[in-house]
Amino acid sequence: MRWRDASELAVLVLGFGAYFLVRGAVIDRPAEAYEHARQIIDAERWLGVYWEPRLNSWAADERVLAQTMNLVYFWLHFPLITVFGVWLFVARRHQYHFLRNAFLASGAIGLLGYALYPVAPPRELPALAQQFEPGAPADVLGYVDTMREYLGYAYQTQSTRPFVNPYAAMPSLHFGWDLLLGLGIARAFPRHRPVLALAVLLPGLQVPAVVLTANHFFLDIAGGAVAAGLGLAIAVGLQRWARSALGARSRAARRVARLLVGPEVVSHPPPGRPEGRRRAGHRPSTARGRRGPGSADRE
């Protein structure tokens, strides 16, 4: 393994490891999480889009539909992100770093949201209502966790407990990261229509999947889209900074630029600076500065 590959692996392990560890550490605020979930329900009622109870009830009664949404929710998210990320790293290295930065930046934004505004997902509301609001409305008490019901998968098992925050519904990075995944696929295959259709389908499928499985509210999805958009903006800013760092005298700045956006981007000089990295104090020779015999004829 080359040093560059090892450093990239370290960035990913540290970045995503920190994301899941911090995400799993902010879990001991159930009362706040329930109150915030009720606030989101009230907001959706006001907007006229509080459809989650009926959609979840419909899915819970249709085993095939529930299982399909469960599989979409689980397999068309982190496993697919991992596979595409590895392929992009090998085959499209210049695009990989940009997408990686967008994922890490949106993940940091998500962590900030989970810490400042913990929200319980719909599947957690029946149990929390028994603690904090025994007389809660029926549409709050009736949610069914379809993944637990039909797949036998529970988020709070002993093996996953250190990495899982049950009150991390807002923003929905399940949707936001699939949106970034779709954009990354579209950017990698701009002329392949079937692949472009898949790129559009991925985030589109996650909308019903996260709602019908009682994992998110519609406003969580909107929050995930905002987090993904901000992550993209940060990735663009980092790429522009790296290009401007080409002429920096600081070797440390150039190393940081390579780590953030990759040597494939840094090695391409920005418009208007064709020489790229230039040693401090070095002035390239010009026809005007050094004239040889016959130079006047060449002008």
Instruction: Dump pLDDT digits (tens) for 14-67.
Output: 776 776 676 666 677 899 999 999 999 999 999 999 999 999 999 999 999 999
Dihedral angle at the C-alpha atoms of 163, 204, 196, 265, nearest 10 degrees? -40
Reduce the DSSP state of residue 217 to 3 states and report it: coil
In whole angstroms, what is the distance from residue 67 CA to residue 271 CA?
A: 52
In whole angstroms, what is the distance from residue 122 CA to residue 218 CA?
A: 11
Q: Count Cβ atoms within 10 A of the Cβ of residue 265 and give its class: 0-12 exposed, 13-18 middle, 19 or more buried.
A: buried
In whole angstroms, what is the distance from residue 284 CA to residue 115 CA?
A: 53
Residue 253 has pLDDT above 90, yes or no: no
**Among 136-140, 150-154, 192-196, 252-256, which is the least confidently predicted range?**
252-256
Which carries the bigger pLDDT value, residue 157 or residue 90? 90
* DSSP at 158: T
Q: What is the mean pLDDT of the chain?
A: 82
Identify the residue whose tokens are 């020489």: 275
Q: What is the pLDDT of residue 2?
A: 64
What are the backbone dihedrals phi and psi of residue 89, each rounded to the nearest 5 degrees, phi first? -60, -35
Please say whether the beta carbons of 99 and 184 come within 8 A: yes
Alpha helices of 117-261 — where are they, by DSSP H? 125-132, 138-141, 146, 173-188, 193-212, 218-244, 251-261
Q: What is the pLDDT of residue 296?
A: 41
For residue 77, CA distances in Å to 41, 49, 207 come to 26, 25, 12
Count H helices and E strands in the chain, helices first.
15, 0
Identify the residue whose tokens are 């397999």: 75
Residue 152 has pLDDT above 80, yes or no: no
For 193-202, the CB contacts below 8 A with 24+ separation are 202/76, 202/80, 202/178
**Among 79-88, 139-148, 252-261, 265-274, which is the least confidently predicted range?**
265-274
Residue percentage of the chain with pLDDT more than 90: 55
Reduce the DSSP state of residue 119 to 3 states and report it: strand
Please say whether the beta carbons of 231 and 103 come within 8 A: yes
Q: Count Cβ atoms within 10 A of the Cβ of residue 184 and give its class: 0-12 exposed, 13-18 middle, 19 or more buried.
A: buried
pTM of the model: 0.81
In whole angstroms, what is the distance from residue 101 CA to residue 98 CA?
A: 5
